[in-house]
C-alpha cells in the first residue's frame, strides 16, 4: 500500500472516529438533557426555599441577639447568653457533618433523612444560624444615637426595630444575604450525599463517576453562573439602597 493511500485511509479513519465521538456526545446530552434540567431546577428550589426559611428565622434570631445584648432595647443577659451559645455551637459545624449529626432531628421533623426535603431542612438550619450572626454583626454597626433618638420620642421596641434598626442596616444586610445565598449554593452541591439532587449531585454521578469531564465542567459552569448573577444583583441592590 502506498504512503498516499495509507495517509488517506488514516485520515478517513480519524474523521470517522471524530464523527462517532461527536455523535456519542450529542447522544449523551440528548439523554442527559432532561436530567440536567431537573438538576438545575432542584438546585434553584433548594436554594430559594432555604434562603427564605433561613433568612426569616435568622433575621429574627439576629435581631434578638442585638436587642437583648448589654445596652440593647430589650436587654436580657440570660436570654442573650443562651441564644449566643446556641449560635456559636451550631454555626461552626461543617455542613457535611451536620447532615449526619442532625439525622435524628431530620427524621423526626421531615419523616426521612434522604431526599430533597431532608436536604432543605438541614440547609435551613445551617442558613438560619449563619444569617443570625451576620444580622447581629451588621446591626451592631448602627449608630446608637439614632436608636436613642427614637426611644426619646417614645417609640416602642417593635417600632424601633421595624422603622429604625432594620432600615438603617438594610444595605449591609443585602450584602450579608448575598453571601449567605452563595453559601447555600455551596451547601446544595453537597445535598446529593443524601439524595437531594441538584447540580452537585449531577456533576458527581454523571460526570466524575462516569469519567465524563465535560458534564462536570458544564455543571460547574452553571453553578458559577448562578453565583455570579446573585453577587452582581446583590452588589447592585446594596449600592442602590445605600445611596438613598
Q: Backbone dihedral region of 154: left (phi > 0), alpha (psi from -120 to 50 degrees) or beta?
A: left
SS3 labels along the chain: CCHHHHHHHHHHHHHHHHHHHHHHHHHHHHHHHHHHHHHHHHHHHHHHHHHHHHHHHHHHHHHHHHHHCCCCCCCCHHHHHHHHHHHHHHCCCCHHHHHHHCHHHHHHHHCCCCCHHHHHHHHHHHHHHHHHHHHHHHHHCCCHHHHHHHHHCCCCHHHHHHHHHHHHCHHHHHHHHHHHHHHHHHHHCCHHHHCCCCHHHHHHHHHHCCCCHHHHHHHHHHHHHHHHHHHHHHHHHHHHHHCC
Cα 117 from Cα 119, distance rounded (Å): 5
Domain limits, the chain: 35-242
Please give the class, per CATH, of domain 35-242.
mainly alpha
The beta strands (E) that lie in 71-223 are given as none
With cell 452582581, the residue in question is: 232
For residue 221 the three cell numbers come to 459552569
What pLDDT is stored for residue 225 in this prediction?
95
- State the residue for C-alpha cell 439525622: 103
Phi-psi region of 82 (alpha: psi -120 to 50; beta: other; left: phi over 0): alpha
pLDDT, position 13:
40
What does each of the 244 residues of the chain score in pLDDT, given as a tens digit?
Answer: 545 544 444 454 444 444 434 444 444 767 877 888 899 999 999 999 999 999 999 999 999 999 999 888 999 999 999 999 999 999 999 998 999 999 999 999 999 988 889 999 999 999 999 999 999 999 998 888 888 898 888 888 899 999 999 999 999 999 999 999 999 999 998 887 888 888 988 988 888 788 888 888 999 999 999 999 999 999 999 999 887 6
pLDDT digits (tens, 9 = 90+) for 104-122: 999 999 999 888 899 999 9
Whether this prediction's pTM lies above 0.95 is answered by: no
Q: What is the CA radius of gyration of the chain?
A: 25
Q: What was the pLDDT predicted at 222?
A: 93
User: How many Cβ atoms are within 10 Å of 148's Cβ, its own excluded?
Assistant: 12
Amino acid at each position: 500500500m502506498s504512503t498516499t493511500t495509507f495517509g488517506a485511509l488514516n485520515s478517513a479513519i480519524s474523521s470517522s472516529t471524530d464523527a462517532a465521538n461527536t455523535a456519542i456526545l450529542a447522544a449523551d446530552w440528548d439523554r442527559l438533557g432532561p436530567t440536567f434540567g431537573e438538576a438545575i431546577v432542584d438546585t434553584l428550589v433548594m436554594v430559594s426555599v432555604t434562603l427564605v426559611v433561613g433568612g426569616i428565622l435568622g433575621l429574627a434570631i439576629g435581631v434578638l441577639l442585638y436587642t437583648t445584648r448589654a445596652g440593647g432595647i430589650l436587654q436580657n443577659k440570660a436570654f442573650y447568653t443562651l441564644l449566643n451559645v446556641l449560635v456559636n455551637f451550631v454555626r461552626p459545624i461543617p455542613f457535611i457533618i451536620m447532615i449526619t449529626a442532625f439525622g435524628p432531628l431530620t427524621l423526626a421533623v421531615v419523616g426521612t433523612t434522604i431526599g430533597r426535603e431532608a436536604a432543605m431542612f438541614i440547609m435551613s438550619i445551617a442558613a438560619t444560624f449563619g444569617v443570625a450572626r451576620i444580622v447581629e454583626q451588621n446591626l451592631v454597626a448602627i449608630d446608637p444615637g439614632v436608636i436613642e433618638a427614637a426611644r426619646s420620642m417614645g417609640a416602642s421596641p417593635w417600632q424601633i426595630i421595624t422603622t429604625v434598626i432594620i432600615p438603617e442596616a438594610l444595605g449591609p444586610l443585602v450584602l450579608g444575604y448575598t453571601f449567605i445565598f452563595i453559601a447555600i449554593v455551596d451547601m446544595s452541591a453537597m445535598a446529593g450525599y443524601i439524595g437531594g439532587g441538584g447540580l452537585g449531585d449531577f456533576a458527581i454521578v454523571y460526570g466524575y463517576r462516569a469519567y465524563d469531564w465535560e458534564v462536570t465542567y458544564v455543571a460547574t459552569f452553571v453553578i458559577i453562573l448562578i453565583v455570579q448573577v446573585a453577587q452582581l444583583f446583590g452588589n447592585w441592590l446594596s449600592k442602590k439602597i445605600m445611596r438613598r
